[in-house]
Amino acid sequence: MTTPDPAAEGRRRADEFLTLLAAGDPAADALLEGLTEIRDVVFVGAGLTAIARAEGRALPTAQRAQASTRQTNLGAQRDRSRYDVAGLRAWVRASGEEILFIRSLHAAAARLQA
């Protein structure tokens, strides 16, 4: 039996969480509650961080700088919760909400250009 790659599984769960969060589906919270191991929560958070940084790089300069500051603050939140699963779940939720905010900035910019 092959053990799944934890980073790939974390990214898959991060994508699933974002889809549920964007839809306002309560299953997003259920997905987080189902993560009981610190390692699993951290891998989901790492997947969300990668998405946020990639999407943030496409923002205009001032918004990109603000997004970078928010990522630093999220990193501090993660570090404060290093050994606390509930705290890490809050970090993952905040990270998901940050991505939705970045996406809303992209959508607003696209409407302005249209």
Averaged confidence pLDDT in the chain: 94
Q: Mean pLDDT across the stretch 102-106?
A: 95
Query: Are 18 and 50 within 8 A, CB to CB?
Result: no
Domain count of the chain?
1
Would you say residue 32 lies in a domain? yes
Q: Mean pLDDT across the stretch 105-109?
A: 91
Would you say residue 82 lies in a domain? yes
DSSP label of 4: P
Would you say residue 1 lies in a domain? no
Q: Is the pLDDT of residue 1 over 60?
A: no
Would you say residue 81 lies in a domain? yes
Burial class of residue 61 in the structure, from the number of CB atoms within 10 Å of its CB (0-12 exposed, 13-18 middle, 19+ buried) = exposed
Q: Is the pLDDT of residue 2 over 70?
A: no
Q: Is the pLDDT of residue 15 over 90?
A: yes
Would you say residue 2 lies in a domain? no
**Domain containing 91: what range?**
7-113
Distances from the Cα of 76 to the Cαs of 16, 31, 80, 109, in angstroms? 24, 23, 6, 29
Tokens, residue 49: 């961080």
Q: Is the pTM of this model over 0.75?
A: yes
Q: Please, what's the b/e burial string for 63-92 (b: 16 or more CB within 10 A of its CB; e: otherwise)?
A: beeebeebbeebeebbeebeeebebbbebb
Would you say residue 107 lies in a domain? yes
